[in-house]
Each structure stands twice: as structure tokens, then as C-alpha cells.
Amino acid sequence: MELWYIQDYINEYKMGLKVKETIFQGKTRFQEIAILDTYLYGRTLLLDGIVQLSEKDEFMYHEMLVHVPMFSHPHPEKVLIIGGGDGGASREVLKHPVKEVTLVDIDEGVIEVCQKYFPQLGKWDDARLTVLIEDARQYVFSTSEVFDVIIMDSTDPLPRGVAEPLFTPEFFAQAFRCLSPQGIMVSQMEPPFFDVDRVQKLWKGFGAFPIVNLYWGLVPTYPGGIWSYVIASKSPDPREQKRLPSFPTRYYSPAIHQAAFVLPPFLEEMLKKQKEDEGSFS
Ligand code: AG3
């Protein structure tokens, strides 16, 4: 008998993964967690039925989410990760000579399950890492800490989902307040080919920042071909890589850093239209 997991992220599109074995299935206060062992991608983490990462391609997402902002900043010392309970984003951040990394995730269940079933994914024993189990929205609104880089590694901003309150102009404005003068924030930003309206709307939320760019990468287990990321900066130009990697990478490279900001015309137009409509970006 063949076992398939079918993900229907939007009504008109389904992705199927042939499953060897269900490794874990459970429910926390916030979401449903499943870990499947799949033939093509190895162990795969699903939250509320949506693929968050797989053993085989997680480096493509985490390296692009983390190294683009980290290498755009001249000297990042303090980093905040919002979400990221699986540990992949913090693992990449800790490859940099940072002093402190704070990871704020609402769901302890994700951390526990990932530590158990993806032991290679996180670098949980690094003394520079502090893990806080709390609502990142409340944390960002109330903290007096200042960070050089803020990395938002959340689930999709779906209506009534855990991540929805994070993708709002008020939240991004508070994140702006928590950044040092050369601060940079990044967020994963969904598939623009499938979701023009959503990406346009989210992009609009970064009005507090003088510099906002979209960049992209490929993540085979995510839908829609192109996966996008928004990078918002207080002053450094995110398109410029300020330092060279001193560790090996498998997706990110200096050339990829530059290339990621080159957008196909349909995306340029989508963002230009948004800027004209809003008139709020430089
Ligand atoms: N967080 C972003 C995953 C988005 C996936 N969305 C989708 N497939 N529709 C990933 C968490 C990994 N650290």
C-alpha cells in the first residue's frame, strides 16, 4: 500500500509527498504538529498541515532567510528570531560571530518535538542562544532590548492562524523601534506568484522603514516556484554584502546575495504598483 500526504495550501493546487512513515503526530495549544518521513525529502515538519521544512531542502530556506540580512549588516551582534522553534534559523545565525541570539517562539511543543526528531537541525547548546517561550507580538511590543537584526521565521500569515498577528503594520513598526540605528529586519514573505494580493498587502506593512526590498529564493517543498523574503532596513543597503562568509554554505553565496534582489519584471511591477498606490516608500 502506498501512503501519500497531500497538502492543499490553496484550493486549486495540491502537492503530494510519498510517505515512508509517520514519525510524530500531535496537537499543542496553538497548532497541529506532524513529522513524516518522506521518500523524496527525508523527515518533513508540518504545522497545521503545511510543510515548514524538510531535511533535504531546509538549507535553501534557512540560509536565504538568515545570511542575506546577516551579511547586509556591517557588524551584527544582537539578533532576535521570531518563531523559528525548529532551530534551523538560529543554527545559521550562530555561524556568525554574534554575541547574543534571542529566540521567541510561542509554542514549546514545536521546540521539543524538533529537538527530538531533528537532532541535527538546531544548535540548542550554544551559550549565546536564549530561548523564550512567549508570544512574540507581546515580546516585541514590550521589550526595551535593542537588536541589530530581527529575523521573522513564522508560519504562513493565514486568517486566524498563529502568525497572523505578526504580519501587521503595528507589529512591524514595533520591530522598527527595537532595532539599533543600522538595524535590519527580514521576514519570509510567501509565494508571490500564487499570492500577489497577500504579498502586496504584507509589503505595505513595512511603511515605518526607509528601505524595503524584496528578494527571492527557491525552496522545492514550498509552493508557487519562487519563495520571497522582505528585508527592511533602517540604513544599510541590504543589496550590498558587507562581509564574506567565513563558513561553508550550500545555497547562499556572494553572487546569490546580489542575484536574489534581481526580480522578474512581473514582480517589479507588482511592487512598483504598490509603491505608487501607497506613496509611502522612498
Ligand atoms: N516557515 C515558513 C514556511 C512557510 C511555508 N509555507 C507554505 N508552504 N505555504 C518555515 C519554518 C522553518 N524554520
The string of pLDDT tens digits covering residues 132-149 is 999 999 999 999 999 999
- Strand-pairing partners, residue 23, are none
Task: Output the domain CATH number for residue 214.
Answer: 3.40.50.150
Residues 130 and 25 in one domain: no
pTM for the model stands at 0.96
Reference 151, options 86, 80, 207, 93; nearest CA is 80
Q: Do 148 and 29 belong to one domain?
A: no
Which CATH number covers residue 38? 2.30.140.10
Which set of grid coordinates corresponds to residue 152? 521573522
- Claim to verify: residue 238 and residue 190 sit in the same structural domain: yes
Closest to 224 (Cα-Cα) out of 188, 195, 263 = 195
pLDDT in tens, 198-236: 888 888 899 999 999 999 999 999 999 999 999 999 999
Both 154 and 215 in a single domain? yes
My answer on whether 108 and 219 are in the same domain is yes
Q: Angle 204-206-210 (CA atoms, 0-180°, nearest 5)?
A: 115
- E strands of 55-178, at which residues? 78-83, 100-105, 129-133, 147-153
- Mean pLDDT across the chain, nearest whole number? 94
- Which pLDDT band holds residue 275 (cuts at 50, 70, 90)? low
* C-alpha 163 to ligand 1 mean position (Å): 11
Q: What is the average pLDDT across 157-162?
A: 84
> Within this chain, do residues 93 and 190 fall inside the same structural domain, yes or no?
yes
Same domain? 183 vs 214: yes
**Confidence check: pLDDT of 68 > 80:** yes
Same domain, 37 and 70: no
119 CA distance to ligand 1 middle (Å): 19
- Domain shared by 154 and 65, yes or no: yes
Residues 232, 121 share a domain: yes
Give the end of a domain, one of 38, 54, 70.
54
C-alpha cell at 34: 506532524
Residue that terminates a domain, selected from 35, 54, 73: 54
Q: Are both 146 and 18 inside the same structural domain?
A: no
Are residues 88 and 40 part of one domain?
Answer: no
Residue nearest (by alpha carbon) to ligand 1 atom 6: 156
Q: Exposed, middle or buried: residue 227 (CB in 10 Å: 0-12, 13-18, 19+)?
A: buried
**Which residues are marked as active site?**
153
- CA-nearest residue, atom 7 of ligand 1: 222
Is pLDDT of 272 > 90? Answer: no
3-state helix, strand, coil split of the chain in percent (to 5) is 30, 30, 40
279 CA to middle of ligand 1, Å? Answer: 30
The Cα 177–Cα 146 span in angstroms is 8
User: Given this model, what pLDDT does residue 281 score?
Assistant: 41
**Sign of torsion over alpha carbons 173, 178, 184, 187:** negative
**pLDDT score, position 282:** 36
Which atom of ligand 1 is nearest the CA belonging to 53? 12
Residue 259's alpha-carbon distances to 68, 149, 263, in angstroms, are 11, 21, 8
Number of domains comprising the chain: 2
| Owning domain of residue 39 | 3-54
